[in-house]
Structure 1
Amino acid sequence: MDEISPSSLKTIMYSKRANIYYLEYCRLLVNGGRVEYVTDAGKKRLYWNVPIANTTTLLLGPGTSITQAAVRELGKAGVMIGFSAGGGTPLFAGTSGVADFYWVSAQSEYRPTEYVQAWMSFWFDDARRLQAAKAFQIMRSEKIAMTWRSPRFQKNGFKPDFEALDCLLRESQSAIQGAPDTQALLTEEARITKALFRMAASAVSYGKFTRSRNGDASDPANRFLDHGNYLAYGLGATSLWVLGIPHGFAVLHGKTRRGGLVFDVADLVKDAMVMPQAFISAMRGDDQTAFRAACTDVLVGGNALDFMIDVIKDVSMDMKVKHQVP
């Protein structure tokens, strides 16, 4: 069979790709020109195709191995690879760091340069970087206002107090616009996130909820929030790779770690999309597999990657235009 050329693999725009895959206890290899994963069923070996041209992110869990040829083909297609523990969290091991977990990205040198150049035009100026961070937070707030009203969520029993939500978001946007520095922005982000957790728990009658940062195994909502957030990080890392912007040039999070910008970008959709689904899945008793499928559907159906890419492009180019020297 003839080899598939890299150009033919990129006919589907990254923002229109539909799939985030999590694989475990299998081997990825190239078979007949296709990337496939192999599982054992008794004495038989079963081969399953991975549609790499329509895939953004591939998470490899325990019991997986991957051949050099498979990595080569995934690199040609621009698929982000992450190595993770069971269930998709936490992520670890690779080349492109995001806090304590890592992504293996394709080493293409033919990505656009205009966005990283625009990003660099403002990034070293504290005041302009703060302005970009505010733009990100406003976009995040607007996405929450729109997505929490999704018929999909309401059909599954997620019914927040929209009047209280609108009031909270208006207050937050006012605080964001008036924030004098990054620390004030981070404080406001923490305040509104805490309020959103309370509101989301109330929206599904979840009862008392406390967010655990250490993976509270006894609380399904906490487990699903961790799991879904890592999916959002994968999309964030993908959107930055597509636009050629390094992960280290954060506008709000993680100035002392290499992957802070991934957190900034993932925050655009975490509270808007992952949080409602985490509480919905926790209430109906989903396992990790069912939650991952539901969360992926929410991210894809809500055009999360499209949104991330558009915000990055708009902020980078808008900041460049506003501050261009005549």
Structure 2
Amino acid sequence: MDNLTNLKAILHSKRANIYYLEKCRVMQKDGRVLYLTEAANENQYWNIPIANTTCLLLGTGTSITQAAMRMIASAGVLVGFCGGGGTPLLMANEIEWLTPQSEYRPTEYMQGWMSFWFDEVRRFQAAKELQQARITYLLQVWSKDKALKAEGFVVEDILIQNALQQYGDKMQLATSTNQLLLIEAELTKQLYKYAAQTTKHQRFTRQHDAVDLANTFLNHGNYLAYGLGATTLWVLGIPHGFALMHGKTRRGALVFDVADLVKDALVLPLAFICAKENATEQEFRQQCLQAFADHKALDYLFNQVKSVALSHHQCSDDEATEAPSSEIDNRK
């Protein structure tokens, strides 16, 4: 097994790390990818375990060498350029991804996605399926996460029950993507209100360019979730442009649709909890990443996207594999 295959040995859905870096230089040294930080009297090197990393977010004050990019691409890691704290550099809700090139990504998921995407009725039904999966994940996480329960985030709360019930009813009656987007925005607003009340966050208003901790953490956490969404779609070979909800009436892509599956359940409550505790961005980021791992967020994204794609397309193989490139390499 060669070095390239070794770097791809860990399936993306099982990888543990997302990195957000700022004010550093990323480089290749002695066969490893490192980032260099400049201290007062000395420079410090830190290793990035690329074989166990899904995506790398490069914030303000960063640079990366061509040699490092080559190794990162060999490991199948996505690289995203963003502004400070994980928020976008230029656009209000856009992030630019550099995707590794590989002819060994699977084809059945893209073919399955295309088999329904050009049919407006079937595409709209697939959008509803993802929205239902979003609610299912929130109920699943909030019903068993002891830390969230201790902070007051419980699915048994009458406000949450009513909000989810109304959303489910309205979603079934919706007849267009625009209606679904409005219903989704209404649910998100109710969840923000619930989180603000639960954490005693007075007079909260969601603003992407606001500087208060809750808004800052929401921006940061959302872009970590976008990293998971982008990774999922790249591994499965589905281009970002074939969105189900976003990208029609506002800027966005399939990355946003997929990331929405886990944002409400994990990023939203943690942003308000960490804001209440006056946590640092580093502390918030660590809590997000731990929550992604604890609740198998990346696994959930893979399973849901696969399900939507394959439910509309009969795979020719007996088994659909998530990332078959290493298997093909081994047969060479």
TM-score normalized with structure 2 length: 0.89
Q: Is the 8 A contact 1:160 1:200 kept in 2?
A: no
Q: Would the alpha carbon gap of residues 99 and 20 (structure 1) be closer, same or farther in structure 2, given more than 3 Å must change?
A: same
- Mapped pair 1:164 → 2:159: yes
Report the RMSD for the aligned CA atoms in angstroms.
2.1
Residues 62-106 of structure 1, C-alpha deviations (whole Å, 9 max, x = no match): 22211111000000101111112222212569xxxx953201111
Cα distance between partner residues in 1 of 2:88 and 2:214 = 16
Q: Which residue number corresponds to residue 327 of structure 2?
A: none
Structure 1 stretches of 4+ moved >6 Å: none
Q: Is the 8 A contact 2:24 2:63 kept in 1?
A: yes
Q: Which residue number corresponds to residue 117 of structure 1?
A: 111
Q: Which residue number corresponds to residue 74 of structure 1?
A: 72
Relative contact order (C-alpha < 8 Å, sep 6+): which is higher?
A: 2
Q: Which residue number corresponds to residue 184 of structure 1?
A: 179
Q: Which residue number corresponds to residue 90 of structure 1?
A: 88
Q: Which residue number corresponds to residue 48 of structure 2?
A: 50
Task: Describe the SS at the equivalent of 1:28.
Answer: strand
Q: Would the alpha carbon gap of residues 61 and 43 (structure 1) be closer, same or farther in structure 2, given more than 3 Å must change?
A: same
Q: Identical aligned pairs, as a percentage?
A: 51
Deviation of residue 14 (structure 1)? Answer: 0.4
TM-score normalized with structure 1 length: 0.90
Deviation of residue 118 (structure 1)? Answer: 0.2
Q: Is the 8 A contact 2:267 2:288 kept in 1?
A: yes
Unaligned ranges ≥5, structure 2? 315-332
Alignment of 1:140-289 (within 5 A): 140-149=134-143, 150-156=145-151, 158=153, 162-213=157-208, 215-217=209-211, 219-255=212-248, 259-289=252-282
Task: Describe the SS at the equivalent of 2:302.
Answer: helix
Cα distance between partner residues in 2 of 1:73 and 1:6 = 9
Task: Describe the SS at the equivalent of 1:255.
Answer: coil
Task: Describe the SS at the equivalent of 1:11.
Answer: coil
Number of aligned residues: 313
- Mapped pair 1:9 → 2:7: yes
Deviation of residue 161 (structure 1)? Answer: 5.7
Cα distance between partner residues in 1 of 2:273 and 2:152 = 7
Cα distance between partner residues in 1 of 2:148 and 2:89 = 28
Task: Describe the SS at the equivalent of 2:311.
Answer: helix
Task: Describe the SS at the equivalent of 1:320.
Answer: coil
Task: Describe the SS at the equivalent of 1:148.
Answer: helix
Q: Would the alpha carbon gap of residues 69 and 14 (structure 1) be closer, same or farther in structure 2, given more than 3 Å must change?
A: same
